[in-house]
Amino acid sequence: MAVIEGPVARAEATPARGRGLHPLAWWAWAAGIAVAITRTQNPLVIALLLAAVVLVVTVCRDESPWARAFGAYLILGLVVVAVRVAFYVVVGLPDSSPVLIDLPTVPLPDWVDSLTLLGPVHTAGLLGAIYAGLRLAALIITFGAANALANPKRALRSVPASLHHLSTAVVIAVTVTPQLFTAVGRVRRAQRLRGLDARGPRAFAGRLIPVLQDALDRSLDLAASMDSRGYARGTTPGGGRHVTAALVVALVAGVLGTYALLDGAAPAWLGAVGLGVGAVVAVAASVRAGRRVDRTRYRPDPWGLRENLVAGCGIVAATAVVLGGWLDPGTLSAGLTPPTWPTLNVAGVVAALAAIAPATIGGGRR
């Protein structure tokens, strides 16, 4: 088997233990930057944050497949900007700013009333579309950065005990998928031996069935092996009445909170309170449910100084932008009518510096 395996076999490299940061540290950093990006409309700040994120990824990422996916996020970001601009040009709403290009209006049949295609392109609208697109792209790329830097397999090890069973299923899936990829290639080669060289959905299905059968047969072996190794031995059988009740309460609070956030008439605090109460109850229920799963962890990923620093950078970035906007609302956006160069204040610089700092702390390159 070893010799004839295709190149897909080596799809991933698992980093050695004890190297690299705790994956949740990267997520905390990215979340902080995402908050910062959503709290400002200043394109200069956003561009700085974006540059910081890209730089950190370039310095800190390794050779894993999810790290390689970062390029796709950059492309996606460009696409988002392009889509925004294209939609503005085609079906944008007019405003009072100077007209940049006066495109002819395309007449539409009557049944699509109140829609005009093309027409004059205004400076403010166009700039707004570009800025908004940039902001969106920066958000998406920030998520891509977290994906690229945090090893998802290690992130799964940090799941709370109450989600132990489901996370086990996901761990199995994530572990087995590369092997199944290899199996698909193996079956395809074997079926060519049989003279089956067809393309199309039927051939694809024929190739999938043996892999599916293998996987299912294997799942029973796996279950037997897990069972014999004591899996779920420490789980108290039967659900807890209190836990379920608490879960329902948490969800109801969540529904109310969300509704309050969406309803214009509701007071602003109601949503936050609803969601907060829901979160607290849910965490309590999760802790209680987790106590019913008696297991320990072998060498859990340590959360040390470097993790604190990286997560802290995210928090600083978010705080700086929020505070900066609160103290000086003018710096939160760039003027569109007339277009003015956005101003950069201290808060923006601090946020960008905080965002870029993990490049020096989090270098987990092997």
Partner 1 sequence: MTGRGREGSAGGPRNGRRGIDSPGVDARAVPIGRRLGLTLAVASLLGVLAFGWPLLVGEGAVLSDATSAPLVLGLVVAAALAVLGVGFGDGGIDVKAIAVLGLLTAIGAILRPLAAGTGGIETVFVLIVLGARVFGPGFGFLLGTTTLLASALLTGGVGPWLPFQMLGAGWVGLGAGLLPRRARGVGELAMLAGYGALAALGFGVLLNLSFWPFLLGTATEISFVAGDPVAENVRRFVLYSLTTSLPWDLGRLITTAAGIAVAGYAVLATLRRAARRAAFGPPAEPVPPRLTTAGAPPPTGPADR
Partner 2 sequence: MIEFRDVSVDYGNGPVLRGVDAVIGEGELCLVVGPTGSGKSSLLGAAGARVPHFSGGRLTGTVLVDGRDTREHLPRDLADVVGVVGQDPLASFVTDTVAEELAFAMEQLALAPTLMRRRVEEVLDLLGLAALRDRPLGDLSGGQQQRVAIGAVLTAQPRILVLDEPTSALDPAAAEDVLAALTRLVHDAGITVLLAEHRLERVVQFADAVISLTADGVATSGDPATVLAGSAVAPPVVELGRLAGWDPLPLSVRDARRTAGPLRERVLAGSSAAAGGPGSEGTTAEPGSFRSASAGRSAGRSAARSAADEPGTPTLTADGLHVRHGRAHAVRGVDLALAAGEVVALMGRNGAGKSSLLWALSGAGPRSAGTVRTAAGADPADQRPAVARRQVALVPQSPTDLLYLATVSAECAAADSQADAEPGSTARILGSITPGIDPGRHPRDLSEGQRLALAVAVQLAAAPAVLLLDEPTRGLDYPAKAELVAALAGLRRQGRTVLVASHDVEFVAQLADRVLLLADGEVVTDAPARDFLLDSPVFAPQVAKILAPAPVLTVADVRRALDAGAEPESAP
**C-alpha distances in Å from residue 85, one per residue of 65, 89, 223, 229:** 32, 6, 52, 58
Assess 105 for contact with partner 1 (CB under 8 A): no
- Which of partner 2, partner 1, none interacts with 265 (beta carbon under 5 to 8 A by kind)? partner 1
- 235: β partners: 293
**CB 331, min distance to partner 1, A:** 18
Give the other-Cβ count within 10 Å of 329's Cβ: 9
108 makes contact with partner 1 (CB under 8 A): no
Six token digits for residue 197 = 């060289």
State the minimum distance, in angstroms, from the CB of residue 349 to partner 1.
23
d(CA 157, CA 57): 23
197 or 328: whose CB is closer to partner 2?
Answer: 197
CA 300 to CA 332: how far, in whole Å? 41
317 half-sphere exposure, CB direction, 13 A CA radius: 34
Instruction: From the list partner 2, partner 1, none, pick the one residue 263 interacts with, judged by a Cβ distance below 5 to 8 Å according to partner type.
Output: partner 1
The amino acid sitting at 346 is V
In the list 14, 219, 280, 304, the residue contacting partner 1 (rule: CB under 8 A) is 219
Choose among partner 2, partner 1, none what residue 75 binds, the Cβ cut-off being 5 to 8 Å by kind: none
* Interacting residue with partner 2 among 86, 106, 166, 226 (CB under 8 A): 226
Token pair recorded at residue 250? 């948490």
CB of residue 142 vs partner 1: minimum separation in angstroms? Answer: 9
Distance CA 300, CA 118 (A): 58
Non-local CB neighbours of 350 within 8 Å, separated by 6+ positions: 316, 317, 320, 324
Site map (CB under 8 A) of partner 1, residues 30-49, x = contact: ----x---x-----------
Q: Which residues between 133 and 162 bind partner 2 (CB under 8 A)?
A: 153
Q: Is 178 in the site for partner 2 (CB under 8 A)?
A: yes
Cα Rg of the chain (Å, integer): 26
* Contact with partner 2 (CB under 8 A) among 76, 120, 218, 344: 218
Distance (Å) of CA 358 to CA 3, 30, 225: 42, 11, 42
4 contacts partner 1 (rule: CB under 8 A): no
Judged by CB under 8 A, which stretch of 60-68, 140-148, 222-230, 348-356 contacts partner 2? 222-230
105 counts as binding partner 2 under rule CB under 8 A: no
| Piece of the chain touching partner 2 by CB under 8 A; list 32-40, 190-198, 281-289, 307-315 | 190-198
Task: Please count the CA atoms within 13 angstroms of the CA of 14 that sit on its side-chain side.
Answer: 8
Find all residues with CB under 8 Å of 59, minimum gap 6, and list them: 359, 363, 365
Which residue in the set 18, 195, 237, 338 belongs to the binding site for partner 1 (CB under 8 A)?
237
- By CB under 8 A, the count of residues binding partner 1 is 116
Contact 56, 352 (CB under 8 A): no
190 binds, among partner 2, partner 1, none (CB under 5 to 8 A by kind): partner 2
What is the Cα–Cα distance from 104 to 120, expressed in whole angstroms?
7
Residue placing its CB nearer to partner 2 in the complex, 58 or 225: 225
CA 187 to CA 205: how far, in whole Å?
Answer: 12
Structure tokens at 2: 């070893």
Which residues between 331 and 350 bind partner 1 (CB under 8 A)?
Answer: none
Instruction: Tell how far CA 80 is from the center of its chain.
Output: 16
Q: Binding residue for partner 1 (CB under 8 A) from 13, 78, 174, 190?
A: 174
| Site membership for partner 2, residue 290 (CB under 8 A) | no
Q: 301 in helix, strand or coil? A: coil
- Binding positions for partner 2, rule: CB under 8 A: 1-5, 7, 9, 12-14, 16-17, 153, 168, 171-172, 175, 178-179, 186-187, 189-197, 206-207, 209-210, 213-214, 217-218, 221-234, 294-299
